[in-house]
Structure 1
Amino acid sequence: MRWNTAAAAALSLLVWTVQSLAQTAGLEAFQRPERVPFPASAPYSREVATLGKMLFFDPRLSSGQNISCSSCHNPSFGWEVPVPKAMGAAGTPVRRHAPTLLNAAWITPLLWDGRAASLEEQAIGPITAGDKMNATFSGITERLSAVRDYRLWFERLFPGKGIRKETVLTALATYQRTIVSGVASFDRWVEGDETAVSNAAKRGFALFTGRANCVSCHAGWMFTDNRLYDIGLQASDPGSGELEPPGKGQIHRFKTPGLRNISLRAPYMHDGSLASLEEVIRHYAAGGAAAPGRTPDIEGFAITGDEIADLIAFLETLTDTGTNVPSPILPAN
């Protein structure tokens, strides 16, 4: 009996060691990058990013001067808003749930349907869309040019160009590339601190990367593969299927969102139709809920209530705890 007990203990230790090594190897794929990627055409400049931040929070970028970029992308809510559809400048809901701007420097293509290739291109859509900011760049240039401080800053940072569509977009995009999720408890676990997350969260991570296979789409340190899928929502929105020219088989496909700070970003999905992380997990476990005849790009999986709690415990470790984004002081007219 002593030999059997010792053998069993040794076998248990071996299994634990193998599992621990496998988990450690798996965690390496989720390490944070050391640098933010900036394009050669728009290298990082602290002053340009500061100017871009002011523009991001300035309602003068909307036609009615009543909303700003931050009205739909609020840093307090994971750079989204806590409602299914944000309100546009005309006081009516926009078409889709506001996507997060967290880690936008690594996202490509951008927007729910993937229609924008760069942050500069992306910003044009919401600024000029009638149901969003409803502005024109000629109007924005006129309003900003009436502000002495803006005139001085643009001329100094963009010599010979001043305030125009190109420089406004460059400043906005430079700031948005600095919107990076902070270090979370999950990151400390990745770096080797076994006490950084709970046992429930570790079980949830095992499910996430194992039987539930969430990692097949939510991969890497941002937890997204930057691809588009039909996830089986009961919605008429064609997603990337409406782009010109229409892509074959792209109907109902939307971008995989990253999961950083996900616990702050309810409600979820491109239409804001799922109110909680539990609803999201149950949707995927059921294999979607699309109308008969549609074949979503997801497969269901069996899961218990306790396992749902474990998955949520893991997802909550992706939220940073030390990031604070104070609103800038805007120049007066």
Structure 2
Amino acid sequence: MLVSVFCVVLLSAATRHEELQRAFARPARIAFPEDEPYSPQKAALGKMLFFDARLSGEQNRSCATCHNPSFGWETPVPRALGALQRPVARHTPTIENLAESEHFFWDGRVRRLEEQAMEPVSHPQEMGYSMNRVVRRLSAIYSYRRNFEIAFPGEGLNRHTILVALATYQRTLRSGWSPFDDWVEGDEDAISEPAKRGFDVFTGVGMCSTCHTGWAFTDHDFHRVGVASKDRGRGLIDPEMAYRFKTPGLRNIALRAPYMHDGSLTSLREIVEHYRRGGTPSEGQPSDLPPLTAITDQDVNDLIAFLETLTAYEPHVSAPALPVD
């Protein structure tokens, strides 16, 4: 009788664990909007544009200057330098795994990647140019004109098609296969025992999966996470959402230091300890985070080991050859 009960308990625990693993399994396809379907020509053009410094006023910075693929499509400093050689307002967020998102930027101020692609180009503190001037500059380059005619028959090179190409490329930016993915697929040796315990902490006592859900480890929602900052976040759009910021995904998180919207936390350990104590709330800036008093030092180490399994085996991306004539 006791043996039967023990077996049932073990089976139940194993089933729950498998269900949790499946909840974080990668989707087979990328979701593209019906009005802007994928084509390899659009994506290839978007990649060229993303790495082309001619989209900036001084032709000295591209989208990839701040969204560097070697650092998880972020910048390894708290705030990147913009067109005026001054730090921009916030830490550069990753642009990986955003095809399913309905809000972009830390404050979610735009609803489509096409809009997101336009803002840095035209912002005086970022790339310091305008879309109209980008169109004129690129139109003077024969190879760009020809490639746009192929990718967008009947439309060619214009403001709209530039933004669609950029957005199409960004939707293809999926983090690569990682040890965690192998584990989800059933390879028990893909990650270490501490990492497996860390997954249990992540989905259990650590409460991380409350917000970091799904295969990309984000609910794409907005939360107050107890960062001492004057930045009102989404409150700039909706006063009732003051100090809330979009949940970043966790794929390739070990490559993306520093962390948070202000780049104020410099390591995974600092991040975990921040959440462990419930952030740094104040009277004017409350936190949605309860202190995690049940988490032990061993749990912290295990959780970090788990987060490191989210790093892709081949996280880097090669730059494209750019049109020169």
Deviation at 1:91, TM superposition (A): 1.3
Matched, 1:97 2:88: no
Following the alignment from structure 2 to structure 1, what is the Cα–Cα distance between the partners of residues 121 and 101? 19
Matched, 1:21 2:12: no
Structure 2 counterpart of 1:202: 196
Preserved contact between residue 204 and residue 314 of structure 1 (Cα < 8 Å): yes
Match of 1:269 in 2: 260
- After TM superposition, list the pairs within 5 Å mapping 1:75-114 onto structure 2: 75-114=69-108
Mind listing any 5+ residue stretches in structure 1 that lack a counterpart? 1-5
Please state how far the C-alpha of 1:90 moved relative to its aligned partner.
1.9
Any idea what the Cα deviations from partners look like across 1:210-254, whole Å, max 9, x if unmatched? 1110110001111101100111110000101112xxx24211110
Alignment of 1:221-300 (within 5 A): 221-243=215-237, 247-300=238-291
1:11-55 CA-to-partner distances (Å, cap 9, x unmatched) read 665544332221112111111101000111111110110011000
Alignment of 1:209-228 (within 5 A): 209-228=203-222
Q: Is the 8 A contact 1:61 1:140 kept in 2?
A: yes
Residue in 2 that maps onto 1:306: 298
CA distance in structure 2 between the aligned counterparts of 1:191 and 1:219, rounded to whole angstroms? 18
Q: Answer with 126-135 or 301-310: which moved more.
A: 301-310
Do the aligned residues in 1 keep the contact of 2:253 with 2:307 (CA within 8 Å)?
Answer: yes
- 8 Å contact kept, 2:268–2:304: yes
- The answer on 1:315 being equivalent to 2:321 is no
- Look up the SS of the partner of 1:106 in the other structure: coil
Quick one: which amino acid aligns to residue 138 of structure 1?
N
Aligned partners of 2:274 and 2:315: how far apart in 1? 31
Between stretches 87-96 and 59-68, larger displacement belongs to 87-96
Q: Distance in 2 between matches of 1:134 and 1:241?
A: 26
**Equivalent residues in 2 for 1:182-197 (5 A)?**
182-197=176-191
Within the candidate set 108, 116, 132, 2:110 is matched to 116
Instruction: Check whether the contact 1:219–1:225 (CA below 8 A) recurs between aligned residues.
Output: yes
- Structure 2: which amino acid aligns with 1:31? A
- Measure, in 1, the Cα distance between the counterparts of 2:305 and 2:114: 36
Structure of greater Rg: 1
Distance 1:238 1:154 in 2: 40
Give the partner amino acid of 2:101. I
Q: Which amino acid aligns with 1:178?
A: T
| Cα separation, 1, equivalents of 2:157 and 2:86 | 30
Amino acid at match of 2:213: A
Note if contact 1:51-1:171 (Cα within 8 Å) is conserved in structure 2.
Answer: yes
Give runs of ≥4 in structure 1 deviating > 3 Å.
9-17
Mapped to 2, the partners of 1:63 and 1:199 lie a distance apart of 51
Query: Residue 53 of structure 1: SS of its match in structure 2?
Result: helix
Determine if contact 1:112/1:254 at 8 Å carries over to the other structure: yes
2:34 matched to 1:43?
no
Q: CA deviation at 1:293?
A: 4.4
Pick aligned residue for 1:150 from 144, 156, 161:
144
Count of residue pairs the alignment pairs up: 324
Contact 1:137 1:164 survives alignment (8 Å): no
2:241 is paired with a residue of what secondary structure?
A: coil
TM-score by length of 2: 0.96
1:235-276 per-residue CA deviation (whole Å, 9 max, x = no partner) reads 000101112xxx242111100000001000000001100001
Measured on the aligned residues, the alpha-carbon RMSD in Å equals 1.5
Alignment-derived partner of residue 131 in structure 1: 125
Give the secondary structure class of the aligned counterpart of 2:21. helix
Instruction: Using structure 1 for the length normalisation, give the TM-score.
Output: 0.94
Query: Within 1, Cα distance between the matches of 2:66 and 2:129?
Result: 15
**2:243 touches 2:285 (CA, 8 Å); kept in 1?**
no
Which has the larger displacement, 320-329 or 176-185? 320-329
Unaligned runs of 5+ in 2: none
